[in-house]
Amino acid sequence: MKTTGWRLIIVALVVSIFAIGMSTLLNYFKFRATTAEMLKSRVLVVADDIDRNVVSSLALGLSFSEISTLQPLIEAEQAAADSIRQIIVFDTKGKILYSTVPDQMGGRVDSDWLKTASTSGEGWLIEGADLNITGRALSNSFDLRVGYVALAYSPDHMNAAAVMGKELLLIAIAVLLFAMLLIFSGLPPLIRRLDKDLKAMADVSELSDAIAKVDKELEQIHQTLEVKS
């Protein structure tokens, strides 16, 4: 029964490690996805403000490249949002019309940006190691696409996820140690009790077999005596 006891302990350990590990991983990835989505949503609020400004300006008859209020707006939006590193507004051909980095105006955006923006729906996202680029299409009042706004922001959720990952790992280790303490302190008495119960059952079974054997022998003797008489 000692082998069976150790098998039970090993099974309990494996189940505990699997359950704690899966719970830790699921919580980590859920936290990472949630923080990333929250950060993206905050950035897209700025994109919505820019979109409204473009729509109202185009409705007044201004061309997309002549919106005088757009450059001050994107500069103010970047200054107000710590997470945003850069805001770029470009037309459907990739030409940069407005940017918080003045030297970029008149240049062209990366071809990957233009390809992603033009093939995506209203919103789009390019994830990078240092910066994430998210944006949305800009349309006029007739719902005709005139360009795009791109917002570069630091993926701070990665740092937050890393910190949370370390905290979850420490919690998982503490829970695992507590589970091991319960297993090694609680299972052995239960296993010993189980051994005693199984041994008692085996003794009862052996006693029943012995009684059945004696009854059979007595019956044979009784039959023999009846024959002789």
Let me know if residue 85 belongs to a domain.
yes
Helix, strand or coil, per DSSP, at residue 92:
coil
CATH number at residue 125: 3.30.450.20
Alpha helices for 60-110 (secondary structure H): 70-80
Q: How far, in Å, CA of 156 to CA of 143, rounded?
A: 34
pLDDT tens, the chain, 229 aa long: 456 667 777 888 888 888 888 888 888 888 777 776 777 777 778 888 888 888 888 888 888 888 888 999 999 988 887 778 889 999 989 999 999 988 888 899 888 888 888 887 667 778 776 778 888 888 888 878 888 988 888 766 556 667 777 888 888 888 888 888 887 777 667 666 766 666 667 666 666 666 667 667 666 666 666 665 5
**Sheet with 123-126, side-by-side order of all strands:** 96-99, 84-91, 145-153, 132-139, 123-126
Does some domain include residue 93? Answer: yes
- What the block records as the tokens of 47 is 């994109």
- Does the pTM surpass 0.75? The reply is no
Amino acid 222: pLDDT: 63
Residue 213 lies inside a defined structural domain of this protein: no
In a domain, 220, yes or no: no
Look up tokens 């302990």; give the residue. Answer: 9
What are the phi and psi torsion angles at 211 (to 5°)? -65, -40
Q: Is residue 2 part of a domain?
A: no
